[in-house]
């Protein structure tokens, strides 16, 4: 058993997680989700919009022991995606490879290492934004940060430009202390900066007014009244993170090659990217965005967004109405 020779199993797990490239790692015990009532209220208020998949798995979501039978502990990790990268028409998180694939692969490596370390098979499963789990809840309990007023998990050493993932295991582990402090104070820069006033109150986001939701999740047309506020954003929005003082001070430079901008995006301003998207065929789209988070909006959704951006920029060329695909993927449970 490796743990007996080189340190506690918790120490080894964390060292291996950092060795795999994760930027934060914490451990928590599974059990009733502390924020489930607030999430259910959020759903009941209609703030999820068309994201009906978020309501699935309510029973499992209420208790983090239920998604994986016998699971007792969660190893929660974060992977930074480069908050120092310049702003642009595509949200920073979506410029490179799909974070689901990147993180799940590494969590599986971590799982294999743990089995080797304890010298026995360990039942478990990795999750990255694809299951009935309130991930921020687990992350706060594992000591990784607090819920900001923009609803993002914020870490005091690196801000909020990171992905969350967790490995649920049938293994008793010593938990870390939860993050108890709220370090937003009286600041409301994220709330005031939102161009569509999507925050109903601190920590309550109305997705139906959020530019990320509108340009990624919404299947149909975007309301004419809100189109000007989309500005030059073809896919997603980083405003509420970019203005956060914790990111202004502590956001990090991109270090993960998988998240570097792909050729279809790199160095292109909103006008250029929008024109190229409008000219794309289905085959062009599949080639340019293979393995990209941007595939979620599908080509029809991206063309809809590109047309809005060019109209906002006062394009000198006429923009025809763009037919938007209505068959959005919904197999994911939380994305």
| Residues labelled as active-site residues | 129
User: What integer pLDDT is reported at residue 32 of this predicted model?
Assistant: 97
Q: What angle do CA 279, 286, 212 make, to 5 degrees?
A: 80
**How confident is the model over 55-73, as a mean pLDDT?**
96
φ, ψ of residue 205 in degrees (nearest 5): -100, 125
Q: Give residue-wise pLDDT tens across range 102-159.
A: 999 999 999 999 999 999 999 999 999 989 999 999 999 999 999 999 999 999 999 9
DSSP state of 243: T
The pLDDT tens digits of the residues spanning 188-199 come to 999 999 999 999
Domain coordinates in residue numbering, the chain: 2-169
Instruction: Determine the pLDDT at residue 316.
Output: 52
Rounded CA separation 25/99 (Å) = 17
The tokens for 146 are 């607090």
Q: Residue 117 in 3-state DSSP?
A: helix
Alpha-carbon torsion (221, 225, 229, 232), positive or negative: positive
Q: What is the pLDDT of residues 256-274, one digit of tens each?
A: 999 999 999 999 999 999 9
Mean pLDDT of 8-30: 98
What pLDDT was estimated at residue 7? 72
Q: List the structure tokens of 325.
A: 């695909």
Judge whether 304 and 223 are in contact, CB under 8 Å.
no
């Amino acid at each position: 058993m490796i743990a007996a020779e080189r340190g506690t199993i918790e120490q080894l797990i964390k060292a291996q997680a950092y060795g795999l490239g994760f930027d934060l790692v914490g451990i928590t015990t599974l059990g009733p989700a502390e924020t489930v009532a607030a999430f259910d209220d959020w759903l009941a208020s209609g703030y999820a919009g068309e994201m009906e998949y978020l309501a699935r798995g309510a029973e499992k979501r209420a208790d983090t022991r239920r998604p994986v039978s016998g699971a007792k502990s969660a190893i929660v990790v974060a992977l930074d995606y480069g908050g120092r990268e310049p702003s642009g028409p595509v949200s920073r998180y979506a410029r490179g490879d799909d974070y689901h694939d990147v993180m799940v692969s590494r969590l599986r490596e971590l799982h294999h290492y743990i089995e080797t370390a304890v010298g026995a098979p360990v039942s478990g499963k990795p999750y990255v934004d694809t299951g009935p789990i309130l991930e921020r809840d687990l992350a706060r309990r594992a000591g990784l940060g607090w819920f900001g007023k923009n609803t993002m998990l914020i870490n005091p050493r690196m801000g909020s430009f990171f992905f969350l993932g967790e490995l649920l295991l049938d293994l008793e582990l010593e938990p870390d202390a939860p993050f108890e402090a709220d370090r937003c104070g009286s600041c409301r820069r994220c709330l005031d900066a939102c161009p569509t006033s999507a925050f109903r109150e601190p920590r309550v986001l109305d997705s139906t007014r959020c530019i990320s939701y509108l340009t990624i999740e919404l299947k149909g047309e975007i309301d004419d009244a809100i189109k000007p506020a989309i500005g030059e954003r073809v896919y997603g929005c980083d405003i509420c993170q970019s203005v956060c003082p914790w990111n202004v001070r502590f956001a990090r430079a991109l270090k993960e090659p998988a998240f570097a901008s792909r050729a279809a995006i790199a160095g292109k301003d909103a006008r250029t990217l929008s024109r190229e998207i409008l000219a794309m065929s289905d085959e062009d789209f599949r080639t340019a965005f293979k393995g990209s988070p941007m595939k979620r909006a599908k080509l029809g959704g991206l063309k809809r967004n590109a047309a809005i951006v060019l109209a906002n920029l006062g394009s000198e060329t006429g923009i025809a109405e763009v037919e938007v695909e209505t068959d959005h993927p919904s197999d994911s449970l939380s994305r």
